[in-house]
Structure formats: C-alpha cells, structure tokens
Structure 1
Amino acid sequence: MATLTAPDGTQLVYDACEPLSPRAAVLFLHGWSDHAGRWSGVGERLRDAGFAVYLLDQRGHGRSGGRRGYLSRFSQLLGDLQAFRRAVRRRRPELPQILLGHSFGGLVALRYLETQPSDPLAAAVAASPALALATPPPAWKLVLSRMFADLWPTLPIPAGIDAAMLSRDPAVNAAYESDRAVHGLASPGAWREIQWAQRAVTTDGHRIDTPLLFLLGGEDRIVDAHAARAFADGLTVPVQVQWYAEMYHELLHDPQNEQVIADIVAFLATRGVA
C-alpha cells in the first residue's frame, strides 16, 4: 500500500503489484462504489504477465479520502489520475504507462484521454466503460435527481447495483454483496457529474490520440455495451474492440477471464509494450 496527495489535498491510496523486471506500468481504475482491493487478483495476473500494476482507490472509495457516494466535480478525478501517474512515474520513471479503467473507471479514463494530450500514454484499455446505463432510469427519477442535485447534492442514496449482474461467477457476486468496503451509494451531485461526463466523453472522442482497446460484454446489464461499441467505432485512433458475447459486466472477474487477460496482453504487444 502507498499513498499520494491529490491536488486539493485529499489523501489517496493505491496498491502495487510489481514483478522483478516489468516491461510497462498498468494503472488501474475501478468502478463506482467499488475499491481497488476487489481487483488484486487482476493485478497479480498482469504482474505474472510482466507488468507492474498499480491499483488506485479513487476518491470517496476504499481507503482513500473523500465523502462516500459524492462527487463535487468530475474534473477532480482527472486531477487525481494525473497525480497518480506522477506518483507511479516517480516510482518507476523508466516504464511506459498504460491506463486500464473498468466501468466508471473507464469513463474517467476516456475523459482523461480527451483532456490530457500533453502527457501521452503508451496505450489504454476501457473495460465495460460507463458511457451509458444499460437500462436508463425512469423520467421521474431523473427529475428528482436534478432537483436534489441543487437542493441536497450530498444526499446518500442507494446506488441500486444488482450484484447478480456483475459476473457469471456467483462467488464474485456474493463476495461483492458482503464486502463492507463497497459503499453502495450514489448522491444526486455525483449522478449529475457522471451524466455530464458521459455527454462530454461522447462529444469529444475526436480528441483522443491514444491507441485504445475496448473490452465489452454482450450480456452486460449494467452499462450499455452497444453504446460503447458505437463510440469506439467512431474514433480515428487505432482502436481494437473485443466483444465477449456471453459475459456480464465484470469481464475481468468472469470464469473465463484468462481470455480477457490474454487479449489485453496481445493488444499491448501490438503497441510494443508486451
């Protein structure tokens, strides 16, 4: 475990999985309501493939500071990610950096790629990026959310994530439900910022100049994999899409996740970092 300080002073925590002679650094961003510890097995698998892996607890999640379930400004996450990159660079300055974002972390990663062209990455991977929900909320819920985003932006509301939709592995879903580090909240203020980011990412895709791999599950019932595929198809940079027809949302926690890891490594090999 290591710590870093975000631009606004918030203390952030990350874990490291480092082989003896890594070929590149993979920076991992988890999803909403989640935490880095749930992905330690993924870090170990990528480490065994020769990568140094760094898994960040995003602000408001896991061991990092910040109010649970609340997000003041989406741009704070981009500043956090830049600080995370600098911390990893100080630790391993010789390694090219690769960004791997899952779900909400994929949304953060894509927005970062659109807004930080002065600090390029070797490559990036978006796993089930949250560009849109698989099932949009009803209109009345959206109206109430907009109202409370102004009146009570920090109001803690259950996020409503159905654990059974995460993975085809029941053990993964059961562990998620019993994990006390999963906060399970989404405030109106956070939802407003996430919606803003989804619109911004979709609009500004032309700004991305980093080679990208999209990992998408055909049976994802949490985010809209088809929207992510359409976004990927519209990009002008080198893009590869891996579509796993029978997989759910958490591809890297699927019973067949060895194939997903292999696809990541193969993609990175085409970029000269594997």
Structure 2
Amino acid sequence: MKKFLITLLAVPVVAALVLAGLILWPVAEKPEPFASITDPFADVDYSDMAGIAFADARDGVGIAYRRYDAQDPRAAALLLHGSSADSQSMHPLAKALAASGVTAYAIDIRGHGATGLRGDVAHIGQPAEDVEDFLAFMRDQHPRLPISLLGFSSGGGLALNAAGQGHAPDIAKLVLVSPMLGVDAKSSTADNPHAAERAWAYPNIPRIIGLSILNGFGFHQLDYLPAIVFAAANRPNLTPVYSHRLLISMNPQDTDALLKEVEAPLTLLAGEKDEVFAAQAYAETVKPALPQAEIKLLQELGHVAMTLDPAALDAIAAVIPRNTQLALR
C-alpha cells in the first residue's frame, strides 16, 4: 500500500517535471538567412510604395495598412503577408492588383510591422479577429465592391483560419497563394523534389508540445514564450521570432475542418517549383474536404516568386471576382 501511495504521488510530480522540461527547451539560435526567400526582395523598387495608415481593431489597437487604389475599381482585396514579413512584401502584388482594377489593402498582421507588439499577440485567434475587423472597415469604404481575402504563405494559413472560423463573412473569394496549410497537411509533409537544403522555419517542438498540453487544460499564461525562429534577413521591418500564441494563430490546426467551413469560392495558386511546400500535394490536401476548390500550379516558379514574378501577379489578378457593372469607390 505504501509503495502504491508513493507511486501515486510520484506520477504527477514526474509528469510536471517532464512538462517543465518541454516548456523550458531552448529556442534555436537565429539561423542564417534563407537566400531564396529573402534575397529576391532586395531587388524590389519600393519608391512608390503606399504610406502607412491605421484602422482600429476591436481592442482599439491600430491595424497598420497600405492602400493601393485602382483608377476604376471593380473589386477590392485584403492581402495578408507571409511569416516574418509585413505589408511591404505585398507591394508588387498590391500594385499589380490596383493596375488591374482591384483596390488592394496590405496590412501588417498583428505581431508584425507596426501592428501591435512584434512577435506576439494578446491571445490565440486574435489575428483572425483583426481580419474580420479590417474586412468590416473595407466594406464601409467600398459598399458596392466584391471583396476578396488573399493570403500568401503563412498569411494563407491565417486567411484559411479566418474564413473557416467565421471571421471572413461575405467575402467574394478566398485566394490562397503558396499557403501554409498546417504542419500535418500533405503539402507540408509530402516529399518535395524542389525542397531547399535547409529550412525556413525552426520550431521549438518540445515547447510547442508542452504549451499545447497546458492549452488543453485551459492554461494560457505561458503562451507568450517564443516558439519558432525564421531564417529571415537582418532587416528592421522583419519579425524573426513568434510566440506560441502567434504561431498557433497563424497556422491552421485542423485543415480539413476549416476547409469544410469555408463558404466562399476558394482558389489556390502556387509555384510548381515551390521550395517550402510540396506544391504537387496541394490538390490532395484541399480537394477531399473542399472538392470544388480550384488549384492552379504555375510552371517554373518558386515560393516567393508567387508575389514577385509578373506571370504570377497576372494569374492572381485574374482570379479576383469583379463587379461587372460600373463600380463606385
């Protein structure tokens, strides 16, 4: 009986020590920049980049955004950037959309750029709430225009979270460009013949597991801890480290369930030679849950090229729904 009681008391102590060990696992050191992701942006001309403005989120924090007005707007689109980046990275795409008749808004997602605290959010799910608030702001600006939600890479994961969780009502289309669809999605796990020799993201898996266990019991007080490091360039506008709650907010946690809740038409575009995600696996990732989804793979293009290459920009602009009647600003 005594041994049984000792064992009974020891089990939770050991479990607590193991959990503490997982959570205290050190974060990876800052890796060298991932050249194919970071270098192409050095050649972008930002001389005509739109200035920063702010729209209030529900908690009063200003969501930083850049607005690119079309001369004769027939549609509007909200653009969500990729991991570690900010609205600057959407400049070429936003310009191309505006030239095609789509007024584009590129925001700094919460935890990036000038929106909130760098690398962190107040709670899991806050960035998706911001998407909902900003879409409402856009509808006030453009009551007659169809509004699409577009996310690139990790921003594509956030866009899916928002649409699948009911934070993007009445959008004309959900456009996912080379999206992160979750760590367990086939697009993340399948063999990729074009994969780079080194990784872009370095997650602290033991810590994520430990914090996720605590989250399952409703404990979120440690969610501010760093959980992932990106191989970002050493530029002041970038955010190379995410907290656990920002990471979970960006990455889809149940891809199939989210896809089944998407009400808007969905188009996914990716480069055939994407070096971050297995582009050939996007169809088998998405189609089982959302058979009507449209998947477009562009030949000879990699991950970042989907926001920079003229062929990709044209392809993205072509899938944005437009008002065929005279549009009103």
Is 1:33 aligned to 2:84, yes or no?
A: yes
Equivalent residues of 2:163, 2:169 under 8 A apart: no
Is 1:73 aligned to 2:129, yes or no?
A: no
- TM-score w.r.t. the length of structure 1 is 0.80
Gaps of 5+ in 1: 164-176
What letter corresponds to residue 260 of structure 1 in structure 2?
Answer: A
Match of 1:100 among 143, 146, 150: 150
1:23 deviates by 0.3
What letter corresponds to residue 73 of structure 1 in structure 2?
Answer: H
Rate the CA distance shift 1:2–1:80 in 2: closer, same or farther, 3 A. Answer: same
What letter corresponds to residue 259 of structure 1 in structure 2?
Answer: A
Equivalent residues of 2:307, 2:313 under 8 A apart: no
Paired residue secondary structure (1:8): coil
Give the equivalent residue in structure 1 for 2:99. Answer: 48
Rate the CA distance shift 1:259–1:9 in 2: closer, same or farther, 3 A. Answer: same
What letter corresponds to residue 28 of structure 1 in structure 2?
Answer: L
What letter corresponds to residue 129 of structure 1 in structure 2?
Answer: P
Give the equivalent residue in structure 2 for 1:263. Answer: 315
Match of 1:190 among 238, 246, 266: 246
Tell me the alpha carbon deviations over residues 23-80 of structure 1, each in whole angstroms, 9 at most, x when there is no partner.
0001101112110012212111111111101111111111112x22224434211210
What letter corresponds to residue 110 of structure 1 in structure 2?
Answer: L
Is 1:17 aligned to 2:80, yes or no?
A: no
Rate the CA distance shift 1:132–1:118 in 2: closer, same or farther, 3 A. Answer: closer
Is 1:179 aligned to 2:235, yes or no?
A: yes
Is 1:242 aligned to 2:322, yes or no?
A: no
Give the equivalent residue in structure 1 for 2:284. Answer: 230
Rate the CA distance shift 1:188–1:226 in 2: closer, same or farther, 3 A. Answer: farther
Q: How large is the RMSD of aligned CA atoms in angstroms?
A: 3.0
1:187 deviates by 2.3
> What CA distance in whole angstroms lies between the structure 2 residues aligned with 1:117 and 1:87?
13
**% same residue:** 24
Is 1:146 aligned to 2:209, yes or no?
A: yes
> What CA distance in whole angstroms lies between the structure 1 residues aligned with 2:273 and 2:154?
18
Tell me the alpha carbon deviations over residues 140-193 of structure 1, each in whole angstroms, 9 at most, x when there is no partner.
9412333366684323466233x5xxxxxxxxxxxxx24310021122343344
Paired residue secondary structure (2:77): strand
In the TM superposition, what are the counterparts of 1:186-225 in structure 2 within 5 Å? 186-194=242-250, 197-225=251-279
Structure showing the higher helix proportion among its residues: 1
1:4 deviates by 1.2
Tell me the alpha carbon deviations over residues 117-157 of structure 1, each in whole angstroms, 9 at most, x when there is no partner.
8821111210011113547999x941233336668432346
> What CA distance in whole angstroms lies between the structure 2 residues aligned with 1:11 and 1:266?
31
Tell me the alpha carbon deviations over residues 175-217 of structure 1, each in whole angstroms, 9 at most, x when there is no partner.
xx243100211223433444xx522233231121211110123
| Greater C-alpha Rg | 2
Tell me the alpha carbon deviations over residues 230-274 of structure 1, each in whole angstroms, 9 at most, x when there is no partner.
2322244642211134322223344xx222122223323xx4547
Equivalent residues of 1:100, 1:106 under 8 A apart: yes
Equivalent residues of 1:251, 1:260 under 8 A apart: yes
Rate the CA distance shift 1:31–1:267 in 2: closer, same or farther, 3 A. Answer: same
Equivalent residues of 1:126, 1:213 under 8 A apart: yes
